[in-house]
Chains A and B, each alone.
Chain A
């Protein structure tokens, strides 16, 4: 069964604005990961946050994790047209596999 669910399904913003995407999941996890997929390409890992962490930064990316609400958010600050892509959260299930959500399609308009 699907574990992660991203929200919104689609997001359109102007260059320079911040983009926030949310992910909710159902069962307990060891870690949560965010990936980016450009059109017609494979997924690229962005950031991993462990269940005992609450916030993590990587460049213009900020990820938060709230295990009590079983949710995570990905914030992209000062967005660029090159950030246009689909973003997926993925959770591990008993350390056997990564289960992905349906993704948020982000469009950054120049």
Chain B
């Protein structure tokens, strides 16, 4: 069983479109994250949720809107996609915010054309 699963794995879309990436964890963790990894492999945190509540929003454009329907799910919706949004997006979860190991999904490679 996959601990943290995100879908889709690949996403190719045109500029201006709206898209969503879904993430689910079956580890019973309270904290979930979204990270963006750029072409230089730099991992930058975007959002952190603890028990469905947003605790970190790292100056991400408001075109990005996370939604956590329950503590096992953290979806990422992106409006009006831009070329610069092309990256690999990783979902992760941990038992505690920052203090415990994080489990990562396999990533979603988003390509905006």
Interface centre among B44, B56, B99, B107 (most CB of A within 10 A): B99
A10 to B37: give the CA distance in the assembly, Å.
18
Q: Is the interface of B mostly helix, strand, loop or mixed?
A: strand
Q: Is the C-beta of B48 less than 8 angstroms from some C-beta in chain A? A: yes
Q: Is the C-beta of A78 less than 8 angstroms from some C-beta in chain B? A: no
Q: Is the CB of A96 within 8 A of B90?
A: no
List 10 A-B residue pairs with CB atoms under 8 Å apart, sorted by A's residue number.
A42-B92, A43-B92, A96-B56, A98-B92, A98-B98, A99-B45, A102-B41, A103-B41, A103-B42, A105-B41
Chain A positions within 8 Å of B, measured between CB atoms, are: 2, 30-31, 33, 35, 37, 40-45, 48, 86, 88, 90, 92-100, 102-103, 105
Chain B positions within 8 Å of A, measured between CB atoms, are: 4, 33, 35, 40-45, 48, 55-56, 90, 92, 94, 96-107
